[in-house]
């Protein structure tokens, strides 16, 4: 009888010790929070508490009876191991690319540069221009007006001009021309070849077409 009581007391004592150790293991993370690392949590509706507990989240009550605060914690040692493995994997991936490239047996192909035959440069044929010959010496002007302040210079009989534009001022036709060729000198103030200005139709011969190459 006494032996039975001793065995019973021994079993009860063992059970209490086992329960105590389990409670202590559960309390260690709380008593020593520095041994684990927790993520920032969030507030969720209280009816989702069971679902989040199944997912491994820890739950705390909040001031709002219809909401709870959930968060997740990790053992620091296990977390450090995971981070070390991830860093080693990333380092291997980074260094493996140059190694594969260095031992590649493929021969790079030379870049092919296509050359095109130069196309023939088209010959530009000068357009026929409307020209006229100065029959009477007179003035080349900045405007189609017979005024002293519009005079550019003299054109001489025989000078050839290219007709660029025509205007009618007070029943008098005027041409906007460019001096094309010079004839004999007739005045020290004559304009140079290439000068552009207005000239009265009365000083010109009948316009005709002539190739600009002539």
Which CA distances in Å does 16 have to 10, 12, 21, 23, 25?
Answer: 10, 6, 9, 10, 14
Closest CA to 172 of 127, 138, 196: 138
* Burial class of residue 12 in the structure, from the number of CB atoms within 10 Å of its CB (0-12 exposed, 13-18 middle, 19+ buried): exposed
Asked whether residue 83 carries a pLDDT value surpassing 90, the answer given is: no
pLDDT at 80: 74
Are residues 194 and 133 part of one domain? yes
Q: Which residues of 126-142 are buried (b: 16+ CB within 10 A; e: fewer)?
A: eeebebbbbeeebbbbe
**Interval 160-193: pLDDT, tens:** 999 999 888 888 899 999 999 998 888 888 999 9
Are residues 92 and 57 part of one domain? yes
Question: Rounded mean pLDDT of the chain?
Answer: 75
pLDDT at 70: 82
Are residues 77 and 49 part of one domain? yes
In a domain, 59, yes or no: yes
Are residues 198 and 152 part of one domain? yes
- Mean pLDDT over 78-91 rounds to 70
Q: Which residue has the higher pLDDT, 156 or 65?
A: 156
Task: Write the DSSP symbol of residue 66.
Answer: T
List the domain range (segments joined by +) for residue 21: 8-33
pLDDT at 121: 45
How far apart CA 134 and CA 144 sit, in angstroms, is: 17
Cβ(171)–Cβ(198) below 8 Å: no
pTM score, whole prediction: 0.41
**Interval 11-20: pLDDT, tens:** 666 777 877 7
Cβ(161)–Cβ(132) below 8 Å: yes
In a domain, 193, yes or no: yes
In a domain, 170, yes or no: yes
Asked whether residue 123 carries a pLDDT value surpassing 50, the answer given is: no
């Amino acid at each position: 009888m006494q032996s039975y009581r001793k065995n019973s007391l021994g079993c009860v004592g063992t059970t209490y010790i086992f329960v105590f150790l389990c409670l202590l293991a559960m309390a260690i993370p709380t008593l020593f929070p520095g041994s684990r690392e927790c993520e920032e949590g969030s507030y969720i509706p209280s009816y989702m508490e069971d679902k989040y507990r199944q997912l491994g989240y820890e739950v705390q009550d909040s001031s709002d009876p219809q909401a709870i605060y959930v968060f997740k914690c990790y053992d620091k040692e296990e977390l450090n191991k995971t981070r070390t493995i991830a860093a080693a994997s990333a380092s291997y991936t980074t260094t493996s690319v140059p190694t594969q490239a260095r031992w590649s047996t493929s021969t790079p192909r030379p870049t092919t540069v296509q050359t095109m035959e130069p196309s023939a440069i088209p010959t530009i044929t000068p357009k026929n221009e409307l020209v006229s010959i100065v029959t009477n010496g007179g003035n080349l002007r900045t405007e189609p007006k017979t005024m002293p302040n519009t005079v550019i210079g003299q054109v001489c009989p025989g000078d050839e001009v290219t007709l660029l534009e025509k205007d009618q001022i007070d029943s008098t036709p005027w041409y906007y021309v460019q001096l094309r060729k010079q004839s004999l000198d007739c005045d020290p103030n004559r304009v140079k070849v290439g000068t552009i200005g207005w000239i009265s139709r009365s000083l010109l011969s009948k316009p005709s077409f002539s190739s600009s190459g002539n």
